[in-house]
Chains A and B, each alone.
Chain A
Amino acid sequence: MTRRSQASVKRTAPAAGAAALLEQTWRDPPGLVGWLSAINHKSIGRRFIVSAFGFFVAGGLLAATMRLQLARPDNHLVGPDLYNQIFTLHGTTMMFLFAVPVMQAMAVYLVPLMIGARSTAFPRMTAYAFWMYLFGGLMIFAAFLLGMGPDAGWFSYVPLAGPDYGPGKRNDFWAQLITFTEVSGLLISIDIITTVLRLRAPGMTFARIPLFVWAMLVTAFMIIFAMPAVMLGSTMLIMDRLVSTHFFNYAEGGDVLLWQHLFWFFGHPEVYFIFIPGLGFMSAIIATFARRPVFGYPAMVMSIMATSFLAFGLWVHHMFATNVPELGKAFFTAMSMMIAVPTATQIFCWIATLATGRVNFRTPLLFVLGFFFILVIGGLTGLMLGSVPIDLQVHDTYFVVAHLHYVLIGGAVFPLFGAWYYWFPKITGRMMDERLGKWNFWLFFAGFNVAFYPMHHLGLAGMPRRVYTYPADMGWGPLNLLSTVGAVTIAVSVLLFIVNAVRSRRHGAIATDNPWGASSLEWAAASPPAAYNFLAPPVVGGREPLWEASKDVGAPTYVTGLALDVREALATTPLDARPDHRYIFPQPSIWPFVSAVATTIMFIASIFSPWAIVWGSLLVAVPVTAWFWPKRAETEKHLALEKRP
């Protein structure tokens, strides 16, 4: 389908009547089968965001149960067996089923809109990735409800998670969940990278890519480099457990610490690919509500890239308590300190933006300001953990629990909630309620600090993490109770968010196309956007397309000449976004869904028998073949287009 494009960029808007035809071409088919066949990036993105939020709530309920158990010493609300499953599933859910996927979900919805495209590059693959993610998440929760939730912690250290000390199938479900999320995460990353590199609006050169898109691009690359490590690790783990390999058996030449290296080589970058999208939300929201572009665009982009590189050099700071040579430790301490520089740079740039802008205090901005307070504390405690001697004291204590929640909730969840308030009008066409939003923010902010700040003190006072209870005479009771009060406050604030979202979706004020007066391209589409996103795909002439006049004097402002009755779009060159060729997107199809079902059957069956990989591969081959089977009618249509000039 690649034909050199010939002057497909015009200066005129398309004719009236084109909208109806485009809608017909790009919409998802009706009915249940149609719903399961949907491949439009906005349908998949919406489902993805809602599912991830569902897992966030489920993970939150698990956390609330833990906080109730720890509210007083010697509590017997849940026993050690259930508690271990709960904290393992809480961590696993929040990291693998919420934090990473929700960022990718936001990207699936927003990136094509922000770069003026009509779809993600591989829409069927996007759908497949979403279903894989959903089925994996449902599998692990089904296992938990059936009393076989994983119980070795979200990083499943061997030998505790291995065959000798982790009887039953509990940790096999964990290892297989990793496989599900890997498949999903890697596919979405490939999708995002290709989308950003090839489908940007003409004129959107590298120097004009919105900071959020930059963040998602860098994140996608990080996922591609980091995730194979844990995929290897979890595959070795399930093989040790299922077919008696000896990867982690020291007596037969394996190594216990190998697991930790593999896991943290993924696990530490993971923190950053949760955090970097958060930085993207920050930049988008701050620019809009400070009414000026973010200060220091080149510094911001370089900082994101520097963070992504350095993130791969500090995994050992999770392992300082094992036998690491002195010089090695000094290197990883240095890396842990150095990574603070790009983050500090971005924080200073945002403060400079706010200082020189004119500030519009709305709910999204409040969440962003919450980020500053919380993340800066989290970042500074991170420096402490990066220092070997201090880490030896506070490692694996509640200090770490406090730190990681300050970083992840402050660095990712606060900007994410801000992002939900910010893009809700774009996604639903209605505004969220401001008053409820402010209550939501203040309760979340207060509850968060009440819940997690005391944990710093608990950690220094010797409370290790992952204990299901503690003796009364340790004196940890009062601060734990306070922490539980904070957790309940967070729960109330999230409930307010749900109420706000559900009510606003029905009864909120109707949103205009650009309700916040923002600068990026998604605000040029309708609210909610039509199936085809843009009636005429835009041509970009500057970094802030909706704010400034095009700098490319004489350049056209729309792309025209694309077919209306076929899913045709203009692909551009990776660096300069010059028109390159016309590309025809695939039609909706049920086969990605069926393939995901088949893959799920294979993955779950392979927990119980290695032979499932053999017959499961055949099972998966059938729908995947059907998925890629060429259709005569489509090919003819494409050939007909070939003949056009």
Chain B
Amino acid sequence: MNAIQNALQSAGPQAAQIEQLWWLTLAVCAIAFVPTLGALLWSLWRAPRATEATPADTAIVSQPERRTRSVVVSAVVISGIGLAFLLLASVRTDHALAQLPLEDALNIQVTGHQWWWDIRYDDPDPSKIFSTANEIYIPVGRPVVITLLSDDVIHSLWVPNLHGKKDLIPGQTATMQIRADKAGTYRGQCAEFCGLQHAFMAFTVTALPAADFDAWRAAQLEPAAQPTDEKAKRGEQLFTSGSCMMCHAIQGTTANARMAPNLTHVASRRTLAAGTVANTPQNLAAWITDPQKIKPGVNMPAHHLPGGDLDALVTYLGTLK
């Protein structure tokens, strides 16, 4: 099974704590399960057989069964001890999860929308704030505080390789602390049922070495590249004067709506439509033409563009590295 979205392949301290607790709990549960079922099977194997006609054993009703009682009582006591142990381990892990050191933390704000993720990198310097969508990049080894908001219904952010989930609740603000200790790309998806396209509200978290992350961040801060060739220029004109700019934003152009994913560096993303299809020109063209076919129920409308215009638009979006 895939490793990039798996609760048992931790890539950071939070998920590792939980994974440890999981194996411990599983062991304790196995220790409880085997003797219980063993006792049952053993009892059935050695108990004498009977039929409906066998007279019931009522002699035992009035006299206490001391031996049986002591066995049952010990079993209950042992279970109680096991449970207390599990409780202790659970509370300890929970405490540890809240203790992730947060010096020099990166602040990211994630807003859930039906059915995509708006990601904003916060910074004390307002000129260093930028937005992207559906693909989070973080530096390896540095803590990240994610602020969780929702624009419509309840969503839940979950990257199993890094941490458990946290709900994005309209009207409330929650935070989540993670750290990735291994470089790599980890997939996550919305974990709280949020309507028609709950199944395709995915995202990735990519952990990069610090230098690579800084380079990525610097690139994201740049406004969109100016188109050079004619086709791309036509594409940009279509974008900013047509319907795209009604919902999308591209930094450095007049398009600045925030209803739909920010497309400033859309060509640098791996997937389209929140992890639904790979980001290729063919898929992009198909997505623009008939998004309902790819993601039924999505709020992106279909666009009936003449062939040349569609080509120009896709070419332009392809330049937005």
Contacts and interface: CB of A to CB of B under 8 A. Distances in A.
The reply, when asked whether chain A contacts chain B directly with Cβ atoms under 8 A, is: yes
Interface of A: 79-81, 84, 152-153, 157, 159-160, 165, 250-251, 255-257, 290-293, 295-296, 299, 321-323, 326, 329-330, 333-334, 337-338, 340-341, 344-345, 347-349, 351-352, 354-361, 369, 372-373, 376-377, 380-381, 383-384, 386-397, 457, 460-462, 464-470, 473-476, 479, 515-517, 519, 542-544, 547-548
A460 B7 contact: yes
A221 to B, nearest CB: 24
Given A360-B51, A376-B36, A80 B163 contact: no
Interface stretch (B60-68, B100-108, B227-235): B60-68
B307 interface: no
A392 B43 contact: no
Given A80-B199, A475-B2, A356 B164 contact: no
A389 B170 contact: no
Interface in B170-195: 170-172, 174, 187-195
Given A322-B167, A326-B98, A337 B83 contact: yes
A513 to B, nearest CB: 12
Contacts of B126: none
A551 B51 CA distance: 26
Interface stretch (B87-95, B218-226, B239-247, B310-318): B87-95
Contacts of A326: 94-95, 98
Given A157-B192, A352-B71, A361-B49, 12 more contacts: A291-B54, A293-B58, A323-B172, A326-B98, A355-B47, A356-B65, A358-B49, A387-B90, A389-B97, A393-B7, A517-B54, A542-B61
B87 A393 contact: no
Contacts of B43: 351, 354-355
Interface of B: 1-2, 5-8, 15, 17-18, 21-22, 25-26, 29, 32-33, 36-37, 39-40, 42-44, 46-58, 60-61, 65, 68-69, 71-72, 75-76, 79-80, 83-84, 86-87, 89-91, 93-95, 97-98, 114, 152-154, 156, 158, 160, 163-167, 169-172, 174, 187-199, 296-297
A322 B83 CA distance: 25
Given A383-B29, A390-B21, A393-B164, A160 B194 contact: yes
Contacts of B296: 79-81
Contact of B47 (A341, A347, A359): A359
Contacts, number: 276
Nearest to A396: B191
Most buried by B among A329, A348, A396: A348
A384 B44 CA distance: 29
A81 B196 contact: yes
Q: Which of A337, A354, A369 has the most CB of B within 10 A?
A: A337
Contacts of B36: 347-348, 351, 372, 376
B130 to A, nearest CB: 27
B55 to A, nearest CB: 8
B72 A292 contact: no
Given A376-B36, A517-B53, A464 B195 contact: no
A456 B201 CA distance: 22
B192 A360 contact: no
B40 A351 contact: yes
Nearest to A386: B90
Contacts of B98: 326
B149 to A, nearest CB: 12
Contact of A357 (B57, B114, B187, B196): B57
Contacts of A299: 72
Among A361, A383, A387, A470: residue with most chain B CB under 10 A? A387
Given A391-B164, A395-B191, A462-B160, A340 B79 contact: yes
Contacts of A391: 164
B72 A352 contact: yes
A341 B18 contact: no
A159 B153 contact: yes
10 contacts: A291-B57, A293-B56, A296-B69, A326-B95, A337-B86, A352-B72, A387-B21, A390-B25, A393-B15, A476-B1
Nearest to B72: A348
A289 to B, nearest CB: 8
A157 to B, nearest CB: 6
B83 to A, nearest CB: 4
Given A157-B192, A321-B166, A462-B5, A517 B56 contact: yes
A609 B189 CA distance: 39
Contact of A348 (B2, B54, B75): B75
B131 to A, nearest CB: 24
Contact of B7 (A340, A381, A388, A462): A462
B193 A157 contact: yes
A392 B76 contact: no
A346 to B, nearest CB: 10
Contacts of A457: 1
Nearest to A365: B44
Contact of B50 (A251, A291, A369, A372): A291
Contact of B94 (A251, A329, A384): A329
B153 A519 contact: no
A460 B160 CA distance: 8
Contacts of B65: 295, 352, 356
Contacts of A356: 47, 60, 65, 68
Contacts of B42: 355
B5 A380 contact: no
Nearest to B42: A355
Nearest to B166: A321
Nearest to B91: A330
A297 to B, nearest CB: 9
B154 A256 contact: yes
A360 B49 contact: yes
Given A345-B76, A476-B1, A333 B87 contact: yes
A552 to B, nearest CB: 14
Contact of A330 (B54, B94, B166, B171): B94
B297 A80 contact: yes
